[in-house]
Amino acid sequence: KNTESKDLLNTMLQSAALRRGVKSLDAISRSFTRSLSSKPVWATIDVDEMGKSPTPYAVSNLVGGEWKKAKSEILIPHPLDKTQHSIFSVPDTDISELEPYFKSMRKVPKSGVHNPLKNPHRYVDYGEISRLAGAALSDEKVAEYFANLIMNCVPKSKWQALGEVKVTADFLNNFAGDNVRRLAKSFGVPGDHYGQFSQGYRWPYGPVGLVTPFNFPLEIPVLQLMGALYMGNKPVLKPSEQVSVVMEQFVRLLIHCGMDPNDLDLLNCRGPVVEELIVKSPLRVTQFTGSSKVAEHLSRATNGKVKIEDAGFDWKVIGPDVAHVDYVAWQCDQDAYATIGQKCSAQSICFIHENWKSTNLLAKMKENAEARSLSDLTAGPTLTHTTKQILDHTNSVAAIEGAEILWGGKELENHSIPEIYGAVEPTAVFVPLEEMMKEDNFPLCSKELFAPFQVVTIYDDDSIDLVLDALEKISHHLTAALVSNDLEFQSRILSSTVNGTTYVGRRARTTG
């Protein structure tokens, strides 16, 4: 019997690989690094050639297990050089072309593709797919490929791009083996009389939607997509057009690792088109990550059948206990300007206790910000705001009485970034706390700008309540940092604030 069980398990694992004609799981592993070129064997775009051809690579849709084009396409401009060719094109899918997606979603029952009582072998299959995909992203050449692909779409430093790949690889490795199956662990509760027992299962929704953002083109969609697949849902993924090639290539990797291409659909289109699919197809829930404006619109359009991760205006309070000035300055710079400020957890406003005025904290923060450069992509384009929009906002905040630009506030020098994007230096504007709290000024100072921009203010022991009033008035509480080892001060701030995640201590940060 043990031999039969092992044979059955091997057959199940091999079946996942054989779907795409791969002769063995070992063959999949070897194929990750077989090629000496920068393009893995499963990849369809060479990152070194992006922007060099007048006929750019064309991203495909995936629906019903087949790669397909649309009647028209959207050209994605080179984000760093407007004189170069487009880096790729994506299908500009029209509402009239959605029927295959409707048909695909209608085939999926509410009980999902698998669940604890149906097709449970797929939990094991996805444990193996996850292992192979995690091994691929952990391979130096494949990690380099995805990091460069990310940087070509949404410019960020190599360290930030490789960090995104590593987080994704770690996630996949965490769910290798039996961990997908264990994720679906059930629970039981004894009844209140003989013969009664309550059993609970982790059940899929069935057909689901994912709408993902541009700023983390691999990490965010992969984590959300794999969670949906692990639990037996069939997702339709709509990535941001500006970066959709990243997820197209990752889906090709998943198929290479044994995933059935019928397990998910990939849709490239504009916002109104995916809204049509979300509202009129049998999608039972949609995960949306993006702006609060769109999130609120989708909430109304779907009558609440949407899970939301939207905007955050993220604060940092630096407490009265002064120490480790260099480290605090470095962390402030990372929080505000890493990934060119295009993180939903980026530091948006910094409250600094007056005790730090005797140090060179602000001078260090300025030095770090001014060391950022377009050459290593620690500074660069912002994809959702133009240069004019960012500078107009900067100047409006700086026009408040007593305010001043501490550093930045200017367009990047010697760049060829397209006009549809932003190109500004890392910027900070000081605003006096009392002026910031005025009714006419606070909405301006607390407006989230998805760019390398932050507001800085100073407070003292007598104005802590004013700081707490400011934190209370902020509308979107995603992450926050309380930089202090003073337990009494920590308690005072933490007991009066609320956030999705709050980092506390001398090394506190708002983001990774």
Is 222 within 8 Å of 266 (Cβ atoms)? no
Strands 207-211 vs 285-289: parallel, antiparallel or unpaired: parallel
Instruction: Write the DSSP assignment of 485-502 as a string of letters.
Output: --HHHHHHHHTT---SEE
Residue whose entry in the numeric block shows the structure tokens 């495909």: 60
Buried-state track 269-278, b at ≥16 Cβ within 10 A, e below 16: beeebbbbbb
One-letter amino acid for residue 145 of the chain: Y
One-letter amino acid for residue 354 of the chain: E
Active site residue 344: yes
Q: Which of 153, 257, 269, 344 is catalytic?
A: 344
Output phi, psi for 266, to 5 deg.
Answer: -120, 120
Distances (CA, A) of 403 to 54, 389, 392, 456, 457: 48, 19, 15, 10, 9
Question: Which residues contact residue 86 at a Cβ distance below 8 angstroms, ignoring those fewer than 6 apart?
Answer: 51, 56, 75, 76, 77, 78
The strand pairing partners of 14, in sequence order, are none
One-letter amino acid for residue 493 of the chain: I
Report the C-alpha gap between 398 and 39 in whole angstroms: 47
Q: Which of 276, 309, 411, 434 is catalytic?
A: 309
Report the C-alpha gap between 1 and 17 in whole angstroms: 25
Instruction: Write the DSSP assignment of 208-235 as a string of letters.
Output: EEEE--SSSTTHHHHHHHHHHHHTT-EE
Cα angle at 311 between 280 and 160, to 5 degrees? 110
Closest-CA residue to 290 (of 417, 63, 476): 476
Active site residue 309: yes
Cα angle at 416 between 413 and 421, to 5 degrees? 95
Closest-CA residue to 42 (of 58, 30, 55): 30
Catalytic positions, written as ranges: 309, 344
